[in-house]
Amino acid sequence: MENGALSGITVIDLTRVLAGPYCSMMLADMGADVIKVEVPGKGDDSRSHYPQINGESAYYMNLNRNKRSMTLNLKSEEGKAILRGLVKKADVILENYRPGVMEKLGLGYEDLKKINPGIIYGCVSGFGHYGPYSQRPGYDIIGQAMGGLMSTTGWPGGDPTRSGTAMSDVMGGISLAVGVLSAYINKQRTGEGQLVDVALVDSIVSSLEIINQIYLVTGRIPSRIGNRYEASYPYDSFRTKDGMLVIGAGNDKLFHLLCELMGQPALEEDPRFLTNITRVEHHAALKPIIEDWLAGYDTETAVQMILDAGVPAGPIYNIDQVTRDPHIAGAREMFVEIEHPVAGKLKITGNQIKLSETPVHYERPAPLLGQHTTEILKEFLGLDETAVRELAEKKVL
């Protein structure tokens, strides 16, 4: 992408499945040339993930748009030599192998910075590259479990619950993107690259913000509280005549406006609801009062009334409603259509970052396995088709 914010940056992407590909997807959407290096004959594990369209994984196609794919056997000496050749001309390399794997191959950060002192080596793993758990395997559900998210997700009395999506992978991917871009900016000043080490569990711990602080400050272990927020109230989900909505009255002014709308100004003088702190403490008494009022209205009407009064509120959408919303799907373009050579036309999830001068583009559908191998080897290493064919015959590619 010639006019992208990250145009001119070359990323060698060895990552698979979600956290690493999410990071490289963001970089590719913003213009970086992302070269996805995959295992010959198999490719990224997510190529076999559900759901499939004409034998192509929608999971893979969403996370790997705007990238080029080449295959490379990193267990062969020729494959390692090719990767080193790519690294010489690259700005960033990304990997999400278990710590130590790349070092055993002679392709760790200390090895590659000898070839390219400015290389930014981004790695994401379950527990990071140092510490007593560094050699443990890491998946999203483990990050959610050990980072504390599952213990605080769900309803009182229920079991710890995994978030509906892979939040530790997504948070890990975003964290890696931020770290890599920070290292790249530093490289512009110093000329030196560095190692960016991101752990899934660390990313979840960081995301828990107020949950951690409650324990650190008060000694109370936060538990599962449903949709309520620990820091303010009413900030929760509430039942209406025909469904549910959420209200985010996060300060005294907003609570005042809500009370006026409900026709119950006396609530503001009730000692239980006088301040945000007391409302949090007496949330169980306040919620049924709000729900008794909402019982007279359908969700759509209630949301509009509350918004018109100046109080944040919204319906609880299912995914079908999200994809049809005129703001989210329409104006904000959070679902975009692409044409894939095998799967045909399909919609993928758009990029959440909106740049005024260098907007993201979706110029390439996710690549077929090894689709750009010859192109990349010609471009970066000057190999001709005969040399590429010989490497393929040796199963290097």
Host H or E run for residue 5: none
Residue 40 preceded by cis peptide, ω within 30: no
Contacts of 81 (CB under 8 A, 6+ apart): none
**Token duo for residue 255:** 């609570």
Count of CA atoms in the C-beta half-sphere (13 A) of 187: 22
- Bridge partners, residue 144, by sequence: none
Cα angle 7, 11, 15 (rounded to 5 degrees) comes to 140
Contacts of 198 (CB under 8 A, 6+ apart): 122, 123, 124, 125, 128, 172, 175, 176, 179
Q: Which residues are catalytic?
A: 169
Amino acid (one-letter) located at 32? A
Contacts of 105 (CB under 8 A, 6+ apart): 74, 75, 80
Listed residue (238, 286, 228, 240) closest to 259, CA to CA: 286
